[in-house]
Amino acid sequence: MRISRVSGFTTRAIPSWAQNHVAAGATVITDGLACFAGVTKAGCKHIAKIAGGRKPKELPLFQWLNTILGNVKTGLGGAYHAFLFSKYSNRYLAGIAYRFNRRFNLKTLHQRLLIAAVSCPPCLERLLRSAESSC
């Protein structure tokens, strides 16, 4: 998994990012920040849910998102507090994404990970380490 970064929350950056990372025809639900309306330029439908004075936990629409972010934050803080997160963040987040995407069938998680590892072609150590220098 490759983590993409938005250059900024501007009316110029969001449409460009959405064009490359969001499927046309997708429905994008946001908190109403004006720049997010730019996803419509990428062929997406935009729905803005304004929180107003309410706290995010009071909005049922975003409850699943708050739960996921809380779990990721707790998992990273507990598991990786002694490591250089800035250096290995792509790998940590890729591991979380792998487990999250397979959360409905946890019994086969280890088997699927083993199959994925065996299916990968051999790679030179210098190529593996080159990923570290780009972090």
In this structure, the answer to whether residues 102 and 124 fall within a common structural domain is yes
In this structure, the answer to whether residues 107 and 70 fall within a common structural domain is no
- What is the sign of the dihedral through the CA atoms of 84, 89, 90 and 96? positive
Q: d(Cα 37, Cα 44) in Å, to the nearest integer?
A: 9
Collapsing DSSP to helix, strand or coil, 70 comes out as helix
Q: Which pLDDT value is given to residue 133?
A: 54
Find out whether 18 and 41 touch, Cβ atoms under 8 Å. yes
DSSP 121: P
pLDDT per residue as tens digits for the range 2-16: 556 778 888 899 999
Phi, psi of 2 (to 5 degrees): -110, 130
In this structure, the answer to whether residues 89 and 78 fall within a common structural domain is no
pLDDT per residue as tens digits for the range 87-108: 777 777 777 777 777 777 778 8
Strand segments, DSSP code E, in 10-103 are 27-30, 45-48
Q: Is the pTM of this model over 0.75?
A: no
In this structure, the answer to whether residues 95 and 75 fall within a common structural domain is no
pLDDT per residue as tens digits for the range 32-89: 888 999 999 999 999 988 877 777 667 777 777 778 777 777 777 666 666 666 677 7
Residue 1 scores a pLDDT above 50: no
Q: d(Cα 31, Cα 48) in Å, to the nearest integer?
A: 6
In this structure, the answer to whether residues 70 and 94 fall within a common structural domain is no
Which residue is it, tokens 């429905």?
27
User: Which domain does 104 fall in, by range?
Assistant: 84-135
The rounded mean pLDDT for the chain is: 79
In this structure, the answer to whether residues 33 and 62 fall within a common structural domain is no
Q: Which residue has the higher pLDDT, 86 or 27?
A: 27
In this structure, the answer to whether residues 104 and 122 fall within a common structural domain is yes
In this structure, the answer to whether residues 10 and 28 fall within a common structural domain is yes
The count of structural domains within the chain is: 3
The proportion of the chain whose per-residue pLDDT surpasses 70, expressed as a percent, equals 84
In this structure, the answer to whether residues 102 and 135 fall within a common structural domain is yes
